[in-house]
């Protein structure tokens, strides 16, 4: 736990580059008020997770949890299983490690589980691999390496790692710029980008930069990102929001668009520069009514069985690692509302099919917490 906090603060609090733009703080967000008599409850589902970084939901009700040290843990029937699904060899310096997990849309048929982690050999780089499930563990020898990303510098922060399948059946991967802003604007590497792959790792024929790139760089779908630690697709609409961790001024929620350039390092926060896609919403590190240092957690409240008040339907949920708060956003207008506070170093969240919200925290002894609502 201790090695993560200084690095995240370093990620967020280093002095801004000369090209950074300033934004006007958003108005004070209104609170989300449940109906009279109703109340929200936050309770630990499991504790004892070692430096968790990300989670994924399995169609059969299991939950996968990434631990930074390389173990992909399994929660089944509300209990943390003693044996990990798999443990990958990884470098855990700074923000490196096992950072992302996703299950295939056809998981029931093929058992495919995808992970993103920092490989230490033959050189230090991030890797995307696929494993095949055999019950609660991976089949021995089933790792298929789908993508070897660019070699990392001595900087051990800004690795990204989020993995999600889009409604088009493609796998999207958020990659940080390895603490080098120039990477985010280069077509010669995958750093500082959102990538789009076929499930077998090949390049989709309709990726936006095919004529400007070669080799694996043709996987680039959007660019100009600093550290897209989390992102989410909205069920039904396919809308994509990308959370980009800022430097020392602004945290961003960006609307995902093929071929977009989000401006880092030339701009941070809202911008009027027509060369760049401005965020839908940005909040400052200080001086605003909403403050934080590292935007994390991402999902839309569109569960199979809604269990919260109607005001939550279709809202975008996001958190801040330092602020420990959970807020909602109207995806049509970018209007943000207060909701819950008091989470200890949250890193990821998911909306479960039963309408509850799962929040993964590095604090509190490494906890997966569940938010539920009691109807009046």
Give 17-45 pLDDT, tens digit per residue. 333 334 444 445 666 555 556 899 999 99
List the domain range (segments joined by +) for residue 178. Answer: 4-374
15 compared with 227, residue with greater pLDDT = 227
Q: What tokens appear for 226 in the block?
A: 């600093």
pLDDT of residue 29: 63
pLDDT of residue 38: 82
Q: What angle do CA 363, 334, 267 make, to 5 degrees?
A: 80
C-alpha 139/C-alpha 164 separation (Å) is 22
Q: What tokens appear for 133 in the block?
A: 């499930």
Mean pLDDT of 108-129: 97
Q: What tokens appear for 106 in the block?
A: 């056809």
Which residues contact residue 82 at a Cβ distance below 8 angstroms, ignoring those fewer than 6 apart? none
pLDDT in tens, 235-250: 999 999 999 999 999 9
Mean pLDDT of 357-373: 97
pLDDT of residue 312: 96
pLDDT of residue 215: 98
pLDDT of residue 28: 55
- If one counts the domains in the chain, the total is 1
C-alpha 194/C-alpha 335 separation (Å) is 25
Could you tell me the CATH number of the domain that includes residue 337?
Answer: 2.120.10.30
Mean pLDDT of the chain: 92
Per-residue burial over 46-70, b = 16 or more CB atoms within 10 Å of its CB, e = otherwise:
beebebbbbbbbbeeebbbbbbbeb
C-alpha 37/C-alpha 22 separation (Å) is 42
Total-model pTM:
0.92
Q: Any idea which of 31-40, 131-140, 255-264 has the lowest mean pLDDT? A: 31-40
State percent of the chain over pLDDT 70.
90
Judge whether residue 191 has pLDDT over 80: yes
Say how many C-beta atoms besides its own lie within 10 A of residue 225's C-beta: 31
**Biggest alpha carbon distance in the chain?**
60
Q: C-alpha dihedral over 191, 113, 300, 185, to 10 degrees?
A: 10
Please give the C-alpha separations between residue 374 and each of 42, 224, 299, 370, in angstroms, as whole numbers: 11, 42, 21, 13
pLDDT in tens, 60-93: 999 999 999 999 999 999 999 999 999 999 999 9
- Asked if 316 contacts 347 with a C-beta cutoff of 8 angstroms, the reply is no
Judge whether residue 16 has pLDDT over 90: no
C-alpha 122/C-alpha 15 separation (Å) is 33
- How are the residues of the chain apportioned to helix, strand and coil, as percentages rounded to the nearest 5? 10, 35, 55
Q: C-alpha dihedral over 145, 138, 165, 312, to 10 degrees?
A: -150
Judge whether residue 4 has pLDDT over 60: no
67 forms beta bridges with 52
> How far from chain centre, in Å, is Cα 289?
24
Say how many C-beta atoms besides its own lie within 10 A of residue 108's C-beta: 11
pLDDT in tens, 305-341: 999 999 999 999 999 999 999 999 999 999 999 999 9
pLDDT of residue 37: 64
- Asked if 125 contacts 90 with a C-beta cutoff of 8 angstroms, the reply is no
C-alpha 321/C-alpha 8 separation (Å) is 9
Of the candidates 125, 158, 164, 314, the residue annotated as catalytic is: 158
Q: Is 135 exposed, middle or buried, given 0-12, 13-18 or 19+ CB atoms closer than 10 A?
A: exposed
114 forms beta bridges with 102, 130
3-state secondary structure of 13: helix
> How far from chain centre, in Å, is Cα 260?
18
pLDDT of residue 372: 97
Query: Around 5, how many Cα atoms within 13 Å sit in the side-chain half-sphere?
Result: 11
State percent of the chain over pLDDT 90.
89
Please give the C-alpha separations between residue 358 and each of 16, 286, 287, 299, 372, in angstroms, as whole numbers: 33, 28, 30, 10, 9
C-alpha 64/C-alpha 57 separation (Å) is 6
Check the CA dihedral 255-257-261-264 and report its sign. positive
pLDDT of residue 36: 58
Mean pLDDT of 291-296: 96
pLDDT of residue 189: 98
In the residue annotation, 314 being an active-site residue is answered as no
């Amino acid at each position: 736990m201790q090695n993560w906090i200084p690095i995240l603060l370093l990620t967020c609090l280093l002095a801004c580059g000369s090209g950074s733009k300033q934004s006007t703080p958003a108005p004070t967000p209104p609170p989300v008020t449940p109906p009279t008599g109703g109340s929200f409850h936050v309770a630990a589902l499991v504790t004892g997770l070692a430096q968790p970084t990300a989670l994924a939901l399995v169609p059969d009700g299991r939950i996968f949890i990434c631990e930074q040290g390389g173990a992909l843990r399994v929660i089944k029937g509300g209990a943390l299983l003693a044996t990990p699904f798999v443990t990958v060899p990884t470098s855990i310096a700074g923000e490196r490690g096992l950072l992302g997990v996703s299950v295939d849309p056809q998981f029931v048929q093929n058992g495919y589980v995808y992970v993103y982690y920092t490989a230490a050999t033959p050189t230090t780089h991030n890797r995307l691999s696929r494993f095949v499930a055999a019950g609660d563990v991976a089949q021995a020898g089933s790792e298929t390496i789908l993508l070897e990303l660019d070699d990392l510098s001595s900087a051990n922060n800004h690795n990204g790692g989020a993995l999600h399948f889009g409604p088009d059946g493609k796998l999207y991967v958020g990659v940080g710029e390895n603490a080098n802003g120039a990477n985010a604007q280069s077509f010669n590497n995958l750093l500082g980008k959102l990538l789009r792959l076929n499930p077998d790792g090949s390049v989709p024929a309709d990726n936006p930069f095919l004529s400007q790139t070669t080799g694996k760089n043709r996987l680039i779908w959007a660019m100009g990102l600093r550290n897209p630690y989390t992102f989410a697709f909205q069920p039904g609409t396919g809308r994509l929001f990308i959370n980009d961790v800022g430097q020392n001024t602004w945290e961003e929620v960006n609307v995902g668009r093929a071929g977009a350039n989000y401006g880092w390092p030339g701009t941070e926060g809202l911008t009027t520069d027509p060369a760049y896609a401005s965020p839908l919403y940005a909040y400052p590190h200080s001086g605003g009514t909403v403050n934080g240092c590292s935007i994390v957690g991402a999902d839309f409240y569109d569960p199979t069985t809604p269990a919260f008040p109607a005001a939550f339907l279709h809202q975008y949920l996001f958190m801040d690692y330092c602020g420990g708060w959970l807020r909602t956003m109207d995806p049509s207008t970018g209007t943000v509302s207060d909701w819950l506070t008091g989470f200890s170093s949250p890193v990821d969240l998911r909306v479960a099919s039963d309408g509850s919200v799962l929040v993964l925290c590095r604090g509190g002894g490494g906890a997966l917490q569940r938010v539920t609502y009691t109807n009046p």
